[in-house]
Amino acid sequence: MYKSADIQQRLVSLKSLLDRINRSWTKRDAEQLILFFVDIFPKLLDAERCSIFFSEEKSDDIWLKFGTGLKEKEIVAPKDGSLVGRSITSGKSIFRGDLDLEEGFHSKSDQNTDFVTRNLLCVPIQSLVGAYYIGAVEILNKKSPTGFTEQDDILVRKVVKFLALSIENNRVADEMIQISRGVHDEITRNSKKFNNKHQFIFASSAMRNVVDMANKVGPLPVNVFITGESGTGKEVVARMVHEHSEDRRSRPFVAVNCSSIPDTLMESEFFGYEKGAFTGAVSSRMGRFEEAEGGTLFLDEIADMPMAIQPKFLRAIQESEGIRLGGNKVHHYKFRIVSASSRSLKEEVKKGNFREDLFFRLFSIDIKIPPLRERREDITPMALMFLKEVNHRFNKKVAGYSKEVLSLFEQHPWPGNVRQLQHEVERLVALTSDGDTISIDSCSLVSDIKSGDNQVGIELDSFSLPLHKKQTEIRLITKALNKTKGNKIQASKLLEITRQSLHNKIKLYNIEQD
């Protein structure tokens, strides 16, 4: 039997895997594989052209979509009345010559493709999982005067087995992608119920206004901008907006932290790229704009979006279209944008760090989340909810809080806001035995008060240089982020390191960011 924490971890891992499948597999990858066979068969048999037909078991039609010189035209052939239909129905190869002197489906097809069929070899493609045929390979105009031979048939049948494997894999993979998207949405909903239900607990009128606003704008086709300090729960409110849109809640919610993407990767992250677009692009990948199709694109820390990408970003959302790196096909977008920032975007516009036209494009409805210290009546209800959830996740039975702990909670300034409260509860539950009440002696907030400026818990008697280095970096990074109100670009300048280096250290030391 799996414990609830194990199930949760498995759900998170599965969600991550499904995200990677959705982003790495594209329809173009499957088509390129079929086109490889279209290209190789004529070379193997010294012929002019190849066509690959597909057939459904219960359909009377056969579809030709991949063929030499077809140029994305799709031709429908009848099972009854065509040579390819006869091959699929009978399961036998067909050799024919002098077809340029006969009337039939092949002559009608020639008119659509500006081609003349003189001879052909048609080999059926048998399903690997059932006693039926899923299509056929038709090779046209062998250059030899004798035409196609039985040896040609034997060779093609050997290769067709690999083609059948590719087609079946493509069909299953395509179905898996469709299923995975549904599972992805279901996992996201279940994960929210499991992990985030407590996030909606509140007693203050300030948070009631936030929730009411999210519920009100959810069904409307407007962009939403959310402001609030780090850790206040901006993504949670963004998900509320998404869930209250009947048209979008069954579609993807794609979250992007603009501060965590290196400047050089920003364009490929949003627009995607084609195979070979740059070194390391071994396959095509859709961008975040395509991923969010029909749903919501959540842009966290939008103020950290580099100026270089802002004009392209603005054009993409104005025109609702864009092109992948290395490609020429125009992809059309349809999604809602919910953006968030821990600092004033208006101030960033005044400073010249953010385009004014992009600001007005994003700034339709503003939702401001107050910090936890300004809604202290929410602290105890949230702490109790966290306790219930963490007990369940850790498979523990901690009885509750002492009055001293709850009193300390309500008086603490909570610079890390809701996330800091959640992590403090997790720590206390881990340190408290089943059946016991959480005492103030276990609370790290007391240690913070006693140690004054030493809020990272450094062991002052330790001679460990790595430990002191780590704690000093945590303290200075935290201090710089507080001074710049979460602005990583300005914080990195204060610390005299690059923005990417700052991001790496924040991730390494698990420094809290919303």
Which residues share a beta bridge with 338? 224, 298
Q: Residue 443 has what pLDDT?
A: 85
Of 218, 92, 207, residue with least CA distance to 157: 92
Q: Residue 75 has what pLDDT?
A: 75
Residues 212, 147, single domain; the answer is no
Length of the chain (residues): 514
Distance (Å, rounded) from C-alpha 304 to C-alpha 500?
Answer: 12
The letter for the amino acid at 89 is T
**Angle at the Cα of 456 from the Cα atoms of 455 and 457, rounded to 5 degrees:** 95
Distance (Å, rounded) from C-alpha 478 to C-alpha 511?
Answer: 8
Distance (Å, rounded) from C-alpha 163 to C-alpha 161?
Answer: 5
Question: Residue 186 domain-assigned?
Answer: no
Beta strand spans in 209-353 (E) = 224-227, 253-257, 272-273, 285-286, 296-300, 321-323, 330-332, 336-341
Q: Residue 2 has what pLDDT?
A: 47
Question: Residue 190 domain-assigned?
Answer: no
Q: Residue 288 has what pLDDT?
A: 93
Intervals of the chain under pLDDT 50: 1-5, 184, 187, 190-198, 449-462
Question: Residue 235 domain-assigned?
Answer: yes
Number of H helices, E strands in the chain: 19, 17
Domain of residue 85: give its range: 27-173
Residue where the block lists tokens 């979008």: 248
Question: Residue 96 domain-assigned?
Answer: yes
Torsion of CA 392, 395, 401, 406, to 10 degrees: -50
Residue where the block lists tokens 């035995």: 433
For 207-238, the three-class secondary structure string (H helix, E strand, C coil) is HHHHHHHHHHHCCCCCCEEEECCCCCCHHHHH
Q: Residue 22 has what pLDDT?
A: 54
Q: Supply φ then ψ for residue 188, to 5 degrees.
A: -60, -45
Q: Residue 10 has what pLDDT?
A: 60
Assess contact for 61 and 79: CB atoms under 8 A. yes
Residues 218, 364, single domain; the answer is yes
Domain of 467, CATH number, reads 1.10.10.60
Domain-terminating residue out of 132, 158, 173: 173
Domain of 211, CATH number, reads 3.40.50.300
Residues 151, 211, single domain; the answer is no
Distance (Å, rounded) from C-alpha 292 to C-alpha 22?
Answer: 11
Q: CB under 8 Å to 500, separation ≥6 — which residues?
A: 262
Residues 363, 216, single domain; the answer is yes
Q: Supply φ then ψ for residue 340, to 5 degrees.
A: -150, 155
Question: Residue 425 domain-assigned?
Answer: no
Residues 169, 255, single domain; the answer is no
Question: Residue 406 domain-assigned?
Answer: no
CB 397: neighbour CB atoms within 10 A? 13
Mean pLDDT across the chain = 81
Q: Residue 356 has what pLDDT?
A: 92
